[in-house]
Structure 1
Amino acid sequence: MNASVFDFLLTTEPDDAPAGDLATGWARHRARSAGFANSVDRAAIAGFDSAETGSAFLGGYQEALHALIPALAPDDLAAMCATESGGARPSSMTTTVAGDGTVTGTKSFATLGPAATCFVVIAKEGVRADGRSSLRTVLVRASAPGITVTPLPELPFVPEVPHATVEFAAAPGEVLPGDGYADHLKPFRTVEDLHVVAAVLGRLVRVGRQARWPVEPVAQLLAVLAAVRGVSAEDPSSAGAHIALGGVFDMLTRVRAELAPWWDRVDPVVRSRWERDAPVLGVAGKARAARLTTAWRAVDGAE
């Protein structure tokens, strides 16, 4: 019988060993969650073992990237490198990959950039017959020559999450099969949302247990996690999955409102840090809303 993530979150004590650096924490998480085949379950466990929302986010972010890019080594700390000064739309990208796999260009905002061991770079290979950019995904080791990583200032929330500008000057990389946009960048937004929400839910279950919340709010958190697990089994590019994910975020909003009376039981430091970091759930909210609108148009047009 497979291990139950719900039983784990309800009966296991959090791993409160000193965090150490991010690589050490990732290795400890992989050992701790090795019995769980579902990456969303592992993300929830990462959140449960996190003393901060920022570290929960990082656990979900890593599980999302490893689920999407199986070519990553298990111990890799990966950073998605898509955003440039003009945004992350294919038409605005100027970073290029040559025929030998070398990458040239600058990514303006790479989450985990300063600590990454591998960069997942979305780069322009050329122009298709229809005039649109042809994108590929390239794995570039952080130890490769031709890379300059410039840390960015902390954000006002989840300050534990580092970001950087990454410049590639003919940096050697491994070009992955498939289309960089359709197969990797586009689904990553949905895959990331699912794993980060799972991690935040795991973190909130930990808070609820330690503050001795009543069983009802804890059960509601697990119910949202069950919905996340269900959506994660679907094709992340499908319209139905986007619509269901929109429903998950609506459920999470309602549950967070219902939790409000119980935060008085929580340690004041933990409560204040949650209030500081909760905006992470709204990151990329406009893009998510646009994808949801597109998804509804797709299903309405199919009728």
Structure 2
Amino acid sequence: MNDVLSFLVTGAVEPPVLDSVDGWWRQHLELARRFSVPADLALAGGFRADRLGFAFASGYHAAHRALFPGLPEDRPTALCATESTGAHPAAIQTRLSREEGPWTLSGEKSFVTLGTSAELLLVVATEGQDAQGRNRLRLVAVDSKRAGVHVAPLPELPFVPEVPHAEVWFEDVRVAPEEVLPGDGYARYLKPFRTVEDSHVHLAVLGWLLQVGRRSGWPDAVREELLALAVMMRGVSLADPAAVATHLALGGALEMTRGALERCEPLWASVDAATRERWERDRRLLGVAGKVRAKRLEAARARLSGGSSEGSSLV
């Protein structure tokens, strides 16, 4: 970890201008060659971002590297889960089927982050229902240029507009057996992703804030608090994302980060106008999925009070 800590406290504080997702990805790849641990990559990517949107993109992609370590590191990826009825396991209708011959994938995903720039799509699909009528989910890695894959850009969001989103649909897309990832698509991938994403995105945000704080002359005590929060969040990111204790620790870390952001409010007056104005526009990003986080923490507390073991996973 010493390498990334040194990077955060001594690295150049004038980030290069990133005027496109392609520019962000080139920088992200360069950093990935230096920082092999996804948490460190998230911190470094945030620190070198010139805006919150590209810090988020580095944290999001680092989360993929953490959860899917066997995927190629040099190809941008996007997780395709959300459908028109949501991302709950019961809402997934995209189907992976094989009657005769190869596997095929058919269905639609309504909201895919970085979908227009992804080369590899990680698609949550159902194989059908089990005896209790629950969806049996799998995760499939599909090339975005394969025949039958269609990607359509969505309108820009009112915050972090630099981060593109897309609708994606699949029409009888052929899938090789090795492209179906091992394990249950829900328990092994979809369920823990929000936890992994939260820790890595917030690492990237903390890295970005450290750069802003150093560049803008924020007090030493503030920058040291942000650095300490980054060290803490890194530890959470390395913990088992299915464990109750991890969810409790993450809940505490997120609350401490929120408090630090509130204490930084008066300091934004010293930040250059362009960065400050983007922050005012983009800070809404940090509140996305707040209800999901609150429910996750509530469930972890309930499991703990019920006498669940430390390593129990949440339902």
TM-score grouping bracket, smaller chain normalisation: over 0.9
C-alpha contact 1:84 1:107 (8 A) present in aligned 2: yes
Equivalent residues of 1:231, 1:241 under 8 A apart: yes
Q: Which residue matches 2:242?
A: 237
Query: Residue 78 of structure 2 contacts residue 120 of structure 2 at CA under 8 Å; is this kept in 1?
Result: yes
Taking structure 1 as the reference length, the TM-score comes to 0.95
CA distance in 2, matches of 1:104, 1:161: 26
Question: Tell me, which stretches of 5 or more residues in structure 1 are unaligned?
Answer: none
The superposition leaves residues 145-176 of structure 1 with CA deviations (integer Å, 9 ceiling, x where unpaired) of 10111111111110011001101111123111
Q: Which residue of 1 aligns with 2:139?
A: 137
Q: Which range is displaced more, 269-278 or 28-37?
A: 28-37
The share of aligned pairs that are identical, in percent, is 45
SS in 2 for 1:4: helix
Equivalent pair of 1:27/1:75 in contact (CA under 8 Å)? no
CA contact (8 A) 2:216 2:271 kept: yes
Q: Which residue of 2 aligns with 1:255?
A: 260
Note the C-alpha offset of 1:3: 4.0
TM-align CA RMSD: 1.5
The equivalent residue for 2:312 is none
Q: 1:153-168 counterparts in 2 under 5 A?
A: 153-168=155-170
Q: Deviations over 1:165-194 (max 9, x none)?
A: 101111123111001000001111010001
2: CA distance between counterparts of 1:276 and 1:18?
A: 18
**Relative to structure 1, is the Cα distance of residues 136 and 220 closer, same or farther in structure 2, using a 3 angstrom cutoff?**
same
Contact kept? 1:3, 1:36, Cα under 8 Å: no
On the 8 A contact 2:140/2:180 being kept in 1, the answer is: yes
How far 1:20 moved relative to its partner? 6.1
Name which of structure 1's ranges 158-167 and 98-107 shifts more when overlaid on structure 2: 98-107
Within 5 Å, give how 1:88-167 maps onto structure 2: 88-99=87-98, 100-167=102-169
Deviation at 1:288, TM superposition (A): 1.2
SS in 1 for 2:85: coil
Give ranges in structure 2 of 5+ residues lacking alignment. 309-315
SS at the partner of 1:115?
Answer: coil
User: Within 2, Cα distance between the matches of 1:29 and 1:81?
Assistant: 21
Q: In the alignment, which residue of structure 1 is the partner of 2:214?
A: 209
Question: CA deviation digits over 1:78-97, x for unaligned, max 9?
Answer: 11100001101111111001
Given that 1:23 and 1:77 are in contact with CA atoms closer than 8 Å, whether structure 2 keeps it comes out as: no
Q: How far off is 1:67 after superposition?
A: 1.5
Counterpart amino acid of residue 166 in structure 1: V
**32-41 or 266-275, larger mean C-alpha shift:** 32-41
Q: Give the C-alpha shift of residue 28 in structure 1.
A: 2.9
- Kindly provide the CA deviation profile for residues 61-90 of structure 1, in whole angstroms up to 9, marking residues without a partner as x: 111012211232111111110000110111
Among 171, 194, 200, which residue is 1:195 paired with? 200
Alpha-carbon separation, structure 2, partners of 1:19 and 1:141: 26
CA distance in 1, matches of 2:216, 2:18: 22
Offset of residue 33 of structure 1: 4.2
1:81 alignment counterpart: 80
Separation (CA, whole Å) in 1 of partners of 2:208 and 2:242: 27
Deviates more, 1:22-31 or 1:176-185: 22-31
Alpha-carbon separation, structure 2, partners of 1:125 and 1:92: 13
> Which residue in the other structure is 1:282 paired with?
287
Pairing 1:4–2:6 present: no
Whole-angstrom CA distance in 2 between matches of 1:3 and 1:249: 23
List structure 1 runs of 4+ shifted beyond 6 angstroms: none
Q: For 1:288 and 1:77, how far apart are their aligned partners in 2?
A: 26
Counterpart secondary structure, 1:190: helix
Correspondence for 1:65: 64
User: How has the CA–CA distance of structure 1 residues 19 and 270 changed in structure 2, closer, same or farther, with 3 Å as cutoff?
Assistant: closer
Q: What aligned pairs does 1:12-91 form with structure 2 within 5 A after superposition?
A: 12-14=11-13, 16-19=15-18, 21-91=20-90
Aligned counterparts of 2:172 and 2:88: Cα–Cα separation in 1: 22
Deviates more, 1:155-164 or 1:18-27: 18-27
Larger deviation: 93-102 or 46-55? Answer: 93-102
How much does 1:6 deviate? Answer: 1.7
TM-score in terms of structure 2 length: 0.92
Amino acid at match of 2:96: V
